Each structure stands twice: as C-alpha cells, then as structure tokens.
C-alpha cells in the first residue's frame, strides 16, 4: 500500500479487517511501531470524528500527531506551468514535498465544491498530494471517497453479522442541504469487495456514478429493497446526474421503525452526523437496532489498521 | 466525582486543595496515571489560559491531549424530538456519545449568550454533555460557572493566607463590555465552601443570582466592604436582574492603592485577562499585593488535581 | 542566549550550525533534554512550515508542544499606563507572564502591518514578549526578522558549498502582493556573520533598511550581481523607502535558467512558499539547481538546534 485513498489501495481486505479487530482488542500493543514517527493531518475542510479518531489511532500506535486546519488562506495551485500572479500562493508540488520533510505519513481532507462534476471527480487535491508527496498519504475524506469511514463500516458489519453473507442495503435519505457523494460512493466500492449482497435504493435521479455502482442492483422501491435486509445503511447524497442538486426532500424516504420492520431484524447504520427525524426517526436511532456509535468507535481502529500497515511497510 | 462542573461535584474540598498542592510540588510524579488516556477539549468559545493550563496539567499526568475549536460550523441540536431540517446538523446525543469513543475525559467550554437569562442558566451545552457523555466531563467554563478558575483561587488563598479564616471581598469593577456572571457566581459558590468570611460589594442592580449568593453579606459601600479584607477579588460582570446589561461604568469602582489601603494588607486577585486602569490601577497590578500571576500558575494544578481524581476513580 | 530573535542572540554561529548538523544526523538522540518541558507556540499570523518544523523539532527533543492561533480576538495592549476601555482586552505584561507559567519556551510569530514603518520596525510584539516573559522567547518570524529561516539557510549553504568562501547573491523578485522585509533583512544579517561574500541586487527603490545592509555591496544590475555566484537567494519584498509599496512587478527580475547560467553552477534558494513563473521559472525550481526542499528540511534542525541550546542553558 503506497497511499490509502480507496479500496483499490488495499491488497487484502479480510486481512486488514482482521488487523483492525486485533488492534481493537489491544489498542496499545504496538506503540514501538510509531515511535518518533509523525502523522501530519491537513484539513482543507472541517472535521470532528475523523480528526479525533485518526489522532487517537496514531497516539495508540505511539506516533506524534500534528493537526492543521488549512481551510483558510492557503490557496494551492494545481496546474502545471501556471504563472502564479493571481490568487494561488503555493504550488502543490512544493506544498506536498515540504510537508513530507516533517511527516512520516500525511493525512488529508478535502471536500468537493459540488459545482463542477468533472473537476470534483478528478479528486485534484488528493491526487496531487499522492503524486508529489514523498511519504504515504491517507485520505481523511476526499471529493469522491471516504475510505476510513467505509473500512469502519466493513469492520462493524463483520462484528454484527449473523449470517456468512448478509444482505446490505444502501438507502438514500432526504436532507435540507446538498451533500457530497463521497460516503455512498465509498460504501458501495468497499461493500463490493466484502462478502455481502449489496442493494442500492434511492429516488430516480439519484443514481451514483457508474464506475462506483458497477453491477450492483439498484431498486427504486425502498420497501422492496429493504425486504430481508440484515444491515440498512442510510445516507443522503446530492444528485450525480444533475450534479450537486437536491431533487427531492420527500419525507417518505426517511428511515422509520415501520420500514425497518421489513428487514430481517436489520441493523441501522449511518456515518454521522445525522439529522434526526429527517434522515432517520428517533425511534430507530435510539433503539436497539442502531449501530451508529459502534461505527464511530470503529473509526479509530480503521485508522489504526491503515497507519499500522503503512508504518510496517516503512520498517520492512 | 462523576463530572466536574461546580463545587457541588467535589466531595472533599480541603482534600482536593491538598492534592493540588502536592501535585504542584511534584508535577510529574504521577505520569503513569494518565498513560494512554486521552483528554479531548472542545472549545465552543475561545480560550487561552484555560486551554494552556489544562493541556499542561494533562501532559503532567502523562495524558494525551486533543484540543478542538468547535466555535464555528458545529451547530448542535439540544431539543428532544426535534425535526432537524433547519440549521442544526447534529444532536448532542450523538455528539457526546461519539466523542466519548475517543476520549477518557471530555473538557468543554461554552459561554452564555447574555440575551436570554433562563436559557443561559439552564447551562444547556454543559448539562447535555454531562447527560449524554459516557465519560467524565470537566467544565472549562460554562454559561454559569468557571470551576477550575475558582479551585485555582481557593488554592491561591490557601497558599497566601495569614490567618486561619481570612476575610475575602468580591468587588465588582467597571468594564466597557458586557461580561458573563460565570466567574463571580463560581467564586462565591466555592468561597462559601471554603474556610473564609466572604463579603460581596457592587453597585445596586448588580446582584448575582440568589442561588449563588445565598446568605453571603452584600454591601453596596465598597470602602465599608474592603475594611480589614485579607483578599480582594476584583471582577466585572453584567447585570443578572437587567440581564446582560451594563448599568454603569463608574470609575469610582476601579480598584486603586487608596482603596487597598483600607484592607488589612490585603492581596489583590483577578482571574485575568484584566483591563488596566479600568478594572484596576497599574499601581495595584504592578505592586507587591498582586497575586494574579500566582493565580494563573495555580490553574495548572487545579486542573491537574481534578484530572487526577477522575483518572484515579476510573482506575479504582 | 536569553531569547532567539536575531543573529545578535547567537554567541557562536559556527557552533550552532555544527550542532544543527549533528542533530540532523541523529534527530532523536537528545530526547531526555526536553522531557517534561513545554514549547508553547503563539501564532498571531498563520504558519505552515514554521509551525510543522518547529513542532517536529521540539518533539524530536522529547518536548511537549502546544500550538495556538492568536490571530483573532486577542487584542493585546502594549502601551504603558494605557486606560484599557476600548479594544484591547489584555496587556502584554500579563499575557507574557501568564504564558510563562505554562511554557518552558515560548515561540511567537507576528507579522508587520506594512502601513507604519516606524511602528513595524519597533517589532513591538516580539520585543514586548521578550521583555515580560519569564522564559526564553523564540521568534517564529517577527515584523523585521525570520531568524529560524536564516539559520536554516546558513546550514543549507554550509552543506552545499563547494568553496571555503562562496559568493551568495540575494536577488529581488517580482510579486503581486506587498510582502514584509523580514526574510531578506534576516538573510542579510545572518550572511554577514557567515563565511560568504554577499551581494544584494534589486531594482532602485527596493533598498533594505541601512542597519541590515551595512556595507554589503548593492548592485542594481542583476546580471552583473549573478556573475560567478555559488548561491542565488531569490525573494520578493516590498519597498522600505516607500514603505510597504509595490514599485514594480517587472518580469525581467524573475529568475530563469538563462540568468542562472551566469553563475558558477550556482544553486537556487528560496524560503517558500514561492509563486512559480513570477518569482522563479519552473525550469529552475524543478531542476537540479534547486535547494528549496533541502532548505525546508533544514528548518527542523535550525529550530532543534535553537531549542537544544535554550534547554541546555536551563539545565546548566
């Protein structure tokens, strides 16, 4: 694993999940591994649970952590050959190379603008850092993917599944703001590599990018999709086709106990933060089906497994 | 002690002060206690000395510290059953539970709005975190109290008193901005548990909330109050009755050497930051009576004693 | 060394450079020195490489680090006797003394306003902290100097020189924004203490302050200055005479391969961030002459040498 930006960077997913669960059982068992190693985390967008869980993961491994908000005043240039006499003050070539002088691993968060689909799906910030950094780069959510969240989700499903191959449903939910597709893209990409049967359900017009969906069944009837589900992953996203648009806020898509009753004692999942009684009813979130806090907890061990693997390689 | 939000959480104040003074004598004597324990500090309002002293205290105990400014972009919902389709993006139920996954102790700062007295005195943020967090919560100043400051003040008085039961005067001072009542509320609450004679003096209209004042003597004549004082704690606050209002900026209430001369070689105290020649004259602040830097120094050991007690319980 | 704010604070420059290079060879060899010592870094202006490199340096020495942005909401008073009933909320006397309670060393960054030359050149924030702090203060760039950058530059030249006494040229470059004179001031001040032949070249009107330039040759013809140079340090600055003004953005001053060809296989240096194809052409920055990443790397060991010296004194 050179960088960690998506499931394609993982050579053996079951092994990574196994490592995460071992680290969860003994969080501080490998503190020598990170000794005198520094994780520098750059947040081009704000972060709460990603920052806390990643920092905790690094500290568990004995690493030093430096977190920086780069959300204001750091206008990077990405174009080759640019004459930088306007707003951009530093080229990503220098930025990535310089931070590599102080970091053993770079963590990076950068959201999409949701205005220009082509630009967003180039995942410019993440790709440029991967290209120019001299140390491994870990995605803390990019314009198109949120791989540490997805790995935590895989771990959570592995911990709670009651069948060898559970049915997992990704169910779109309404939301008053236009949100990125990074979490659902990533969830689909990881589930397709996991030992599950994945079904996606959403209103027409909310189809995710084809390169993420592949041959995953898409069902527009939510009730039909939920039938017999073991895990229901609820999430809003804005339209990919009508890029960045909110096409509907239809409350009929809100997850409720009545809908969860269609599942096979299905568990409820969400990456948080979640808007109560818009995305999901209180009754579900506060009930025994909800795995959201377990998911949040597994964020630490997802990050720790990735850092562990990157540090082990460096030592190898 | 489940949480630390006010003097009511302290079961044995003299013992806590004794612990703080022992830690001050040997700051790094208990580094094993905090090993692999994480203090997450969330600042809904800015902080300088509270952040530095609390972080130093935690590091002295061998803890890991993660500090986060939550002052922008994190709009929490507090109402049960809310339909979150407007400005609030996360319910405090999830926020507190999630942070509890990454923290062994949560530190929290949240100021009052000074618009709505009833709302402020519910101390909503602090109370909600105490309710929903799965780990101890330490107040780094709430809408109504600043207990780590008050504990530092108790320690400072204990160190500098020349009588078994000194006279302590809380004296209001003018200020160009409307300030919270958290520091004076808290000071009164703690002094009432300490072995001192407390007198409060302020212009009429600046009466603090009755539940804090209790039967403490209130004297409107500053000179009369100061007579024979061993410690003079000067502080501005906005009106509780005419909530959040500035009723006067009368410079006659500024603390001066002439007024300090009325005391029994009284010492001057203030929590800082202080506006020179508005709250207190240079001559007092720069003279031998001033304990303000000693108070600031004791902030570390107040925090360290509280963290020590919370960590010891967890180990017990 | 009481504080570190400029080359005048260094008693033996060759020894400091030697120490830095030893620390670079064995970065973690002195971790006991910083044990339980705290570096508090206050940024009145934003910072990327200074923050990362200084934090890394402190961690290498086993220190604890607390970084704070003080760029908003902390309005300090500097005037003696001020009646603080307006915008300033804390006097630097208290601020510096209080932070000294929590820090063993204070790092401080504060830029000039570029409006009032006399005020800027008093270096008010840095000087006031040096006066009132009870612990050593390290400049992380002040209104007039950037000594950690200059020390890193001295180290870099020492590492790459091919002659006992190389020729070093400081060459002004165009830039769309008005920048401080801190980096060139500082570079000149340090080079004058190093074993090099320094020449300064810039358009007329860009003369640096006489107290920094001293008897250093100033040549207005860039080509003439570059002839036979071993190191070319390129940097923009705004005018000192027409204080803070941009007098020209003439692209003829941009550094190119054609100009570098006038040197004696000269190396290119810049403190970064750098505007490509405005300050310097891609061909130079991306070519084998460029030392910019090596300079950035040496920032860590410059800071580490300074911290090491300050900590050693405290132990002595």
Concatenate the DSSP letters of all residues of B93-131 into one string.
HHHHHHHHHH-SEEEEE----SS-HHHHHTTHHHHHHHH
Q: How far is C73 from chain B (nearest CA, A)?
A: 8
Is C276–A98 a contact, with Cβ atoms under 8 angstroms apart? no
In order along its 316 residues, chain A shows pLDDT tens digits of 999 999 999 999 999 999 999 999 999 999 999 999 999 999 998 888 899 999 999 999 999 999 988 866 688 999 999 999 999 999 999 999 999 999 999 999 999 999 999 999 999 999 999 999 999 999 999 999 999 999 999 999 999 999 999 999 999 999 999 999 999 999 999 999 999 999 999 999 999 999 999 999 999 999 999 999 999 999 999 999 999 999 999 999 999 999 999 999 999 999 999 999 999 999 999 999 999 999 999 999 999 999 999 999 854 3
Q: Which residues from C are below 8 Å from A when comparing CB atoms?
A: 27-28, 46, 48-49, 51-53, 55-56, 59-60, 176, 249, 272-278, 282, 285-286, 292-293, 296-297, 299-300
Select the residue from A59, A276, A283 to test the B interface by mutation, using most B Cβ atoms within 10 A.
A276
Chain B: nearest CA to C96, how far in angstroms? 10
CA of A77 vs chain C CAs: smallest distance (Å): 9
Is B60 within 8 Å of C91 when comparing Cβ atoms?
A: no
CA distance A211 to chain B (A): 30
Subunits with 3+ C-beta pairs closer than 8 A to B: A, C
User: Is C72 a residue whose pLDDT tops 70?
Assistant: no
Residue C315 scores a pLDDT above 80 = no
Q: Do A90 and C273 touch (CB under 8 A)?
A: yes
Q: What does the pLDDT read at residue A316?
A: 39
Q: Which among A78, A93, A94 is the top mutation candidate for probing chain C, defined by the most C β-carbons within 10 Å of its own β-carbon?
A: A94
Give pLDDT tens digits for A258-290: 999 999 999 999 999 999 999 999 999 999 999
Alpha carbon B175 to its chain centroid, in Å, reads 19
* Residues of chain A found within 8 Å of residue C286, distances taken between Cβ atoms: 93
Q: Write the CB contacts of C288 (distance below 8 Å, at least 6 apart in sequence).
A: none
Q: Which residues contact B257 (CB under 8 A, 6 or more apart)?
A: B281, B283, B284, B287
A221-267: pLDDT as tens digits: 999 999 999 999 999 999 999 999 999 999 999 999 999 999 999 99
Question: How large is the ipTM?
Answer: 0.95
Q: Which residues of chain A have a Cβ shorter than 8 Å from any chain C Cβ?
A: 36, 38, 40, 64, 66, 68, 70, 73-74, 77, 81-86, 88-91, 93-95, 97-99, 101-103
State residue A72's pLDDT score. Answer: 66
Res C316 pLDDT > 70: no
Residue from the list A60, A249, A277 with its beta carbon closest to the beta carbon of B82:
A277
DSSP classification of residue C4: B
Q: Which residue of A has its CA nearest to B73?
A: A46
Residue of B nearest to A53 (CA): B102
CA–CA dist B280, C173 (Å, integer): 51
Cβ contact A108:A128 at 8 Å: no
> Which of B70, B84, B102 is closest, CB to CB, to A53?
B102
Whether B127 shows a pLDDT value over 50: the answer reads yes
Is the CB of B53 less than 8 angstroms away from the CB of C81? no
> How many Cβ pairs closer than 8 A exist between chain A and C?
74
| Cβ separation A70–C48 shorter than 8 A | yes
pLDDT, average across residues B257-265: 98
Nearest to C282 among A73, A81, A90 (CB): A81
Q: Chain A interface, mutation test: which of B85, B88, B95, B108, most A Cβ atoms within 10 Å? A: B85
Confidence of residue B123 (pLDDT cuts 50, 70, 90): very high
pLDDT over threshold 70, residue B216: yes
Asked whether the predicted pLDDT for residue C314 surpasses 60, the reply is no
Chain C residues in contact with B59 (beta carbon < 8 A): 38, 64
Cβ distance A85 to C249 less than 8 Å, yes or no, reads yes
> What φ, ψ does residue B218 adopt, rounded to 5°?
-115, 125
pLDDT at B314 over 80: no
Residue C274 and residue A90: Cβ atoms within 8 Å? yes
- CB-nearest partner of C98 from B176, B276, B296: B296
Q: Which two three-digit tokens encode residue A24?
A: 């969860």
Cite the DSSP H helix spans in chain C: 13-25, 49-60, 92-102, 117-121, 124-132, 147-160, 182-191, 210-213, 222-226, 257-260, 282-285, 292-315
Say which residues have a Cβ less than 8 Å from residue A223's Cβ, sequence separation at least 6: A259, A262
Give residue C282's pLDDT band: very low, low, confident or very high (50, 70, 90). very high
Which residue of A72, A82, A101 to mutate against C (max C Cβ within 10 Å)? A101
CA A153, CA A156: separation in Å to the nearest integer?
Answer: 5
The fraction of chain C above a pLDDT of 90, given in percent, is 94
Q: How far A108 CA sits from the closest chain C CA (Å)?
A: 14
The pLDDT tens digits for A156-176 are 999 999 999 999 999 999 999
Q: Is A86 helix (H, G, I), strand (E, B) or coil?
A: coil
**CA distance linking residue B135 with residue B129, whole number of Å:** 10
- Give the orientation angle of helix B147-160 with respect to helix B182-191, to 10 degrees: 50
């Amino acid at each position: 694993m050179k960088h960690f930006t998506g499931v394609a960077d993982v050579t053996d997913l079951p092994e990574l999940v196994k490592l995460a669960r071992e680290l969860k059982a003994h969080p501080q068992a490998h503190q020598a591994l990170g000794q005198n190693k520094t994780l520098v985390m750059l947040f081009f967008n704000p972060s709460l649970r990603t920052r806390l869980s990643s920092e905790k993961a690094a500290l568990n491994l004995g690493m030093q952590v430096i977190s920086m908000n780069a959300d204001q005043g750091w206008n990077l240039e990405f174009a080759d050959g640019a004459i930088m006499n306007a707003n951009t003050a530093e080229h990503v070539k220098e930025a990535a190379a310089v931070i590599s002088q102080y970091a053993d691993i770079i963590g990076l968060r950068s959201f999409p603008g949701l205005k220009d689909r082509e630009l967003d799906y180039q995942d410019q910030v993440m790709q440029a850092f991967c290209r120019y950094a001299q140390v491994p780069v870990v995605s803390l959510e990019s314009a198109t993917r949120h791989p540490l969240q997805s790995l935590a989700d895989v771990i959570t499903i592995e911990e709670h599944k009651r069948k060898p191959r559970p049915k997992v449903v990704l169910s779109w939910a309404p939301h008053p703001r236009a949100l990125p597709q990074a979490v659902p893209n990533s969830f689909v990409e990881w589930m397709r590599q996991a030992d599950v049967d994945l079904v996606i359900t959403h209103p027409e017009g909310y189809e995710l990018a084809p390169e993420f969906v592949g041959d995953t069944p898409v069902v527009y009837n939510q009730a039909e999709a939920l039938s017999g589900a073991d895990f229901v992953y609820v999430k809003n996203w804005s339209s990919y086709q009508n890029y960045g648009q909110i096409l509907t806020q239809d409350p009929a898509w809100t997850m409720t106990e009545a809908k969860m009753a269609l599942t096979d004692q299905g568990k409820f999942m969400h990456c948080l933060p979640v808007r109560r009684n818009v995305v999901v009813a209180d009754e579900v979130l506060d009930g025994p089906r909800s795995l959201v806090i377990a998911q949040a907890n597994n964020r630490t061990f997802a990050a720790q497994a990735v850092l562990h693997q990157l540090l082990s390689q460096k030592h190898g």
